[in-house]
């Protein structure tokens, strides 16, 4: 990649990185000025996710992303870690809490639209984010993105956006309409993580056939990239899995407290009549903002 | 709550939840041990030693992931049982043995011997390793069965399993 293109990607990176941070900060300041409570963990998650995006698109790393191992590091940061952390930070909830009623109505209408509902179903996110990696690396698409700066930028946008779709469906704290039950999401998560690991193995084993020296890198580059995909995928897997089951556990805890409160005030059969399976926390949409 | 179907569901839940949680942690612990001890510390085998059969690729990828998934989900289920007061220690350990021994037996027989994904160790006489591995796995499974029988027969276990207290 030429230095001009590298600089350009730095400039767009600045816009992509600076604008969301400014928006989040403005929302936080507004909420704080009203005395509204916002968990510190969400600020931390946003800062972490934002840092991942910044490192992936605006650091010196980004200028070297024509090298396959660097590209894979970018994929882990932009396509996995950043989306999970951003989903945990709940920026849409923040927006809904600080915006005017008109904006709130508009955002709610968009979130409740059929298209968003369809896209936010966890298996769709899995296919768009992890599934899309198969044609990307196993056909000529990756090579194409190396030659065309616009396609290259589009690839990065796709990584982040598709990753966000999936992460919001899996662990998002925002109200996600039609994300799927716990069971559907667990199946989508398992399938996506397995597909990710299997692709890493496939790239490792077939590095010699897939790599094109001088174009997409040497077979050594691809083998190293595949190992980064494998071990980096591990670290990311652990983060997603802990977040997923952690949310299941917390939701179950709220449910349990509610049951115990009902039992304490003497509502007989509260645990069994309205909730036939006390172990299964309610599936479906996320918590609605207060 | 008083119908036959409900009481059977409670009975099943009482047994299956601790066993399931233990089994998940057992599988996760076996996979974790294999990964850290044999791959990372001893370097006896690498994560990928085979050729390029796709069955091997899929199996290895799946079982690699299963380790993390099982360990984390099993521990959260364990915490869930504790806070609900429905944790049954012998049953949980029985499940742990089922998961741990079962996974090692699967690894030792299917992955090593049938799919030939990897061997336990290279450039040594292999059969003592194989026999040791599979015998240990079988012993763990038998311990699991003994624990399960005892836990199910123990009258105190039933009280601990009462869901609605």
Of residues B113 and A23, more confidently modeled: A23
pLDDT band for position A158 (50/70/90)? very high
Q: Cα–Cα distances in Å, from A105 out to A34, A154, A173, A179?
A: 21, 30, 19, 21
State the residue range of the domain holding A231.
Answer: 3-264
Number of domains in chain A: 1
Most A-contacting residue of B52, B64, B86, B161 (CB-CB within 10 A), to test interface? B64
Q: What does DSSP assign to residue A155?
A: H
Most B-contacting residue of A190, A196, A205, A242 (CB-CB within 10 A), to test interface? A205
* A290 domain residue, yes or no: no
Of residues A18 and A277, more confidently modeled: A18
Residue A228 main-chain phi, psi, to 5 deg? -65, -40
**pLDDT tens per residue across span B129-155:** 778 888 888 999 999 999 998 888 875
Query: Which pLDDT value is given to residue B46?
Result: 56
> What percentage of chain A reaches a pLDDT higher than 90?
43
Q: Cα–Cα distances in Å, from B121 out to B12, B112, B125?
A: 42, 11, 9
* A208 domain residue, yes or no: yes
pLDDT band for position A283 (50/70/90)? very low
- Upper half-sphere CA count for residue B57 (Cβ side, 13 Å): 17
Contacts of B68 in chain A (CB under 8 A): 234, 237-238, 241
Do residue B57 and residue A205 have CB atoms under 8 angstroms apart? Answer: yes
Given A230, A269, A279, which is nearest B13 (Cβ)?
A279
> Average model confidence (pLDDT) for chain A?
84
In this model, does residue A286 exceed pLDDT 60? no
* A209 domain residue, yes or no: yes
Query: Which pLDDT value is given to residue B93?
Result: 93
In this model, does residue A284 exceed pLDDT 50? no
Region B17-35: mean pLDDT is 87
* A206 domain residue, yes or no: yes
* A269 domain residue, yes or no: no
Under 8 Å CB pairs connecting chains A and B tally to 64
Contacts of B47 in chain A (CB under 8 A): 230
pLDDT band for position B3 (50/70/90)? very low
**pLDDT tens per residue across span A195-242:** 888 888 888 888 888 888 877 888 888 888 888 888 888 788 888 899
pLDDT band for position A145 (50/70/90)? confident
* A270 domain residue, yes or no: no
* A280 domain residue, yes or no: no
Query: Which pLDDT value is given to residue A289?
Result: 42
For helices A3-33 and A91-98, the axis angle rounded to 10 degrees is 50
pLDDT band for position B163 (50/70/90)? very low
**pLDDT tens per residue across span B40-77:** 666 665 555 555 556 666 666 676 777 888 999 999 99
Asked if residue A168 lies in contact with residue A87, where contact means CB atoms within 8 angstroms, the answer is yes
User: CA B78, B17, B164: angle at the middle one, nearest 5?
Assistant: 95
Do residue B57 and residue A201 have CB atoms under 8 angstroms apart? Answer: yes
* A284 domain residue, yes or no: no
Domain ranges, ordered by start, for chain B:
4-160
Q: Does B48 contact A at CB distance below 8 Å?
A: yes
Of residues B6 and B98, more confidently modeled: B98
- Is residue A178 classed as helix, strand or coil in its secondary structure? coil
């Amino acid at each position: 990649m030429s230095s001009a293109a590298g600089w350009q990607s730095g400039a767009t990176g600045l816009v992509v990185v600076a604008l969301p941070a400014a928006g989040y900060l403005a929302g936080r300041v507004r909420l704080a000025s009203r005395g509204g409570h916002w968990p510190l963990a969400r600020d931390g998650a946003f800062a972490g996710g934002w840092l991942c995006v910044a490192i992936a698109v605006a650091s010196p790393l980004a200028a070297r992303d024509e090298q396959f191992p660097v590209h894979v590091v970018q994929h882990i940061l932009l396509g996995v870690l950043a989306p999970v952390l951003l989903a945990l930070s709940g920026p849409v909830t923040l927006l809904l809490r600080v915006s005017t009623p008109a904006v709130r109505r508009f955002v709610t209408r968009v979130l409740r639209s059929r298209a968003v509902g369809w896209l936010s179903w966890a298996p769709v996110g899995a296919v768009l984010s992890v599934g899309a990696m198969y044609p990307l690396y196993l056909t000529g698409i990756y090579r194409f993105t190396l030659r065309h700066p616009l396609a290259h930028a589009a690839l990065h946008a796709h990584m982040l956006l598709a990753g966000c779709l999936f992460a919001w469906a899996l662990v998002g704290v925002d109200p996600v309409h039609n994300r799927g039950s716990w069971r559907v999401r667990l199946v989508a998560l398992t399938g996506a993580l397995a597909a990710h690991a299997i692709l890493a193995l496939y790239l490792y084993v077939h590095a010699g056939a897939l790599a094109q020296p001088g174009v997409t890198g040497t077979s050594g580059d691809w083998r190293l990239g595949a190992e980064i995909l494998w071990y980096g995928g591990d670290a990311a897997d652990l983060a997603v899995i802990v977040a997923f089951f952690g949310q299941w556990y917390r939701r179950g805890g709220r449910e349990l407290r509610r049951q115990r409160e009902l039992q304490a005030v003497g509502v007989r059969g509260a645990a069994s009549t309205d909730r036939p399976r006390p172990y299964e926390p309610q599936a479906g949409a996320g918590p609605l903002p207060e | 709550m008083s119908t036959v179907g409900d009481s059977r569901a409670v009975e099943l839940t009482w047994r299956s939840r601790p066993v399931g949680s233990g089994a998940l942690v057992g599988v996760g612990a076996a996979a974790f041990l294999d990964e850290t001890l044999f791959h990372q510390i001893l370097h006896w085998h690498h994560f990928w030693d085979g050729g390029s059969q796709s069955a091997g690729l899929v199996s290895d990828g799946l079982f690699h992931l299963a380790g993390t998934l099982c360990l984390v989900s099993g521990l959260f289920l364990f915490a869930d049982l504790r806070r609900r007061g429905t944790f049954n220690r012998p049953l949980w350990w029985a499940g742990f043995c089922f998961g741990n021994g079962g996974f090692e037996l699967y690894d030792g027989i299917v992955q090593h011997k049938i799919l030939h994904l990897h061997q336990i160790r290279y450039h040594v006489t292999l059969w003592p390793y194989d026999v040791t591995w599979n015998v240990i796995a079988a012993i763990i499974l038998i311990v699991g069965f003994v624990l399960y029988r005892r836990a199910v027969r123990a009258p105190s276990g039933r009280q601990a399993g009462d869901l609605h207290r």
